[in-house]
Amino acid sequence: MERLTDIGTIKEILGRHGFTFSKALGQNFLINPSVCPRMAEAAVGSVESERVGVLEIGPGIGVLTNELLQKAEKVVAVELDKRLLPVLSETLGEYDNLKVVNADVMELDLHRLIREEFAGMRVVVCANLPYYITSPVIMKLLEEHLPIGSVTVMVQKEAAVRLCAEPGTRDSSAITAAVRYYCTPELLFHVSRGSFMPAPNVDSAVIRLMLHEPTVTPKDEKTFFKVIKAAFAQRRKTVLNSLSSALSLDKQIVRGILETAGVPETARAERLTLEDFSAIADSFADRL
Ligand code: SAM
């Protein structure tokens, strides 16, 4: 439905429903007609199955949803802003393979939703994410070990760089390590700020995370992530200083943990690999 990217059409529909954009909910709607077909193709085409179910977060007025509905067997779209429900009934009312859920995605039991809505389907996630919760949403999708094949999302350009960075490089951060543990990330294409209404202050990019079995096997996942977060808490410090201050541990104890793990105490977190973090976490778990 091309008209959903047309500014005049959007203003007309939203005006009729008395809708005003909420900055707090990250409401920047796509108006560039070439973006949604590419995102939908990348998401649905990422898994080899005739039966693909898509979980969308934040459908807005349904511009991306419309593309997904034409390619997937079913779409479940989770929208927090209940003012958009009558709008979606109008713009996407013709489809019988859509379910709109009025909820905060961070509060939802996604295991249950997937089990109840997508029986027999391969499930992927696709969204133009509200930027204020980019990292929490991505971490929720990954940490909960959901039965999903991929996550194709629009995020701020800077977040895309961090999420897709190679571990051990300058751009890497705690979320880089977490993402690499669960998936292989790929930056698909850039999207300029003028592609949205209202235009945000930053450019964006679409990334795709292909899920896989974790490549390292720490004894305890919770400790593994605790160590990663602590190591990056003060990324300019040495791993010795960062871990001891973030975990409130005596330096001598941390020194012993790093020695057992075979990680130099003067290293910076951004230089460490997943194997290094796993070794530190195992040595940490053994000691404490
Ligand atoms: N998909 C639409 C598009 O591309 O034009 C809208 C994207 S807009 C960037 C983000 C959408 O997420 C908005 O519709 C907003 O209301 C919704 N949203 C914000 N926070 C949410 C949350 N916690 N759970 C579900 N949806 C949320």
Selection from 91, 92, 50 nearest residue 72 by Cα:
50
164: tokens are 């897709």
The pLDDT, as a whole number, for residue 3 is 83
Give the domain ranges of the chain: 7-211, 221-287
The pLDDT, as a whole number, for residue 236 is 85
* R_g over Cα of the chain: 21
Q: How far is the CA of 84 from the centre of ligand 1 (A)?
A: 10
Ligand 1 close to Cβ of residue 244 (< 6 A): no
Q: Which atom of ligand 1 is nearest to the CA of 60?
A: 14
Q: Does the domain spanning 7-211 belong to CATH 3.40.50.150?
A: yes
Ligand 1 close to Cβ of residue 30 (< 6 A): yes
Low-confidence ranges of the chain (pLDDT < 50): 1-2
Residue 175 exposed, middle or buried by CB count within 10 Å (0-12, 13-18, 19+)? buried
Which contiguous run of DSSP H or E holds residue 74? Answer: strand 74-79
Task: Report the CATH number of the 221-287 domain.
Answer: 1.10.8.100
Ligand 1 close to Cβ of residue 57 (< 6 A): yes
Q: How far is the CA of 273 from the centre of ligand 1 (A)?
A: 34
Q: Are 66 and 35 in contact (CB under 8 A)?
A: no
Residue whose structure tokens are 């992530």 = 225
Ligand 1 close to Cβ of residue 128 (< 6 A): yes
* pLDDT tens digits along 36-74: 999 999 999 999 999 999 999 999 999 999 999 999 999
Phi/psi at 90 (nearest 5 deg)?
Answer: -75, -45
Ligand 1 close to Cβ of residue 161 (< 6 A): no
The pLDDT, as a whole number, for residue 35 is 98
State which amino acid sits at residue 162. R
Report how far residue 242's alpha carbon sits from residue 236's, in angstroms, rounded to the nearest whole number.
9
**SS3 state of residue 122:** strand
pTM: 0.94
The pLDDT, as a whole number, for residue 181 is 95
